Structure 1
């Protein structure tokens, strides 16, 4: 085979034309697609980072709101517990006073009853002794007969 410069030039032109055609039909669209994909990926990453920052901000606000609410609820709970404790102590003191008064009234009533019974004891003792004497006498009389 001999070196043919025309065939070589035609082959070079064909190869160059093929490269130009492939550049416009394949390489440029693929590069544009890759560039667009990179832009979308970078955009998605930025968007994801922004969403992550927003999520962190919202989470921080949420946790601070929960902490504040817990503190407020604990303060209200403490106030209510203190109020209930004071009310319970007041009711207990009132009940103790009322019971003390009732006990004193019952003590007075028992003392009156004791005094009344004490006054009746001498009368009852004499009447019981007379009944015992009478019973003894009647028993003797019955046996004698």
Structure 2
């Protein structure tokens, strides 16, 4: 039996309206958006090549999405992500942060990314409720001491 080789793309969803988080954005909205972009840019061949291994895992703390796709189709997926300007009902686009061959190295990068980015979010909080939510996100994701 031959092992299927995958690529993992760690992407950030950036909303054009400037908000950090939209609670009603669902994982299936992201999946359909990616699938439609593949169909539009690469046709049936691109969709058929990517869909046999396409999987999306969403981390909604700072709008991070991990997309798994076969190694053969990852460049098609990456080029299709460039043309996405609407996810669900929101005007947004993808910013690719990291591409990896294993989920473990992708997760290691994600932890380092959270260590750098979540304290920045803490400084941007305007209300005590937002600050409490960001502290909870920091403690659940990264073993960093927050005061």
**TM class by smaller structure:** under 0.3
Larger radius of gyration: 1
**Between Structure 1 and Structure 2, which shows a larger proportion of helix residues?**
1
**Between Structure 1 and Structure 2, which shows a larger proportion of strand residues?**
2
Of structures 1 and 2, the one with the larger relative CO (CA 8 A, separation 6+) is 2
TM-score normalized by the length of structure 2: 0.19
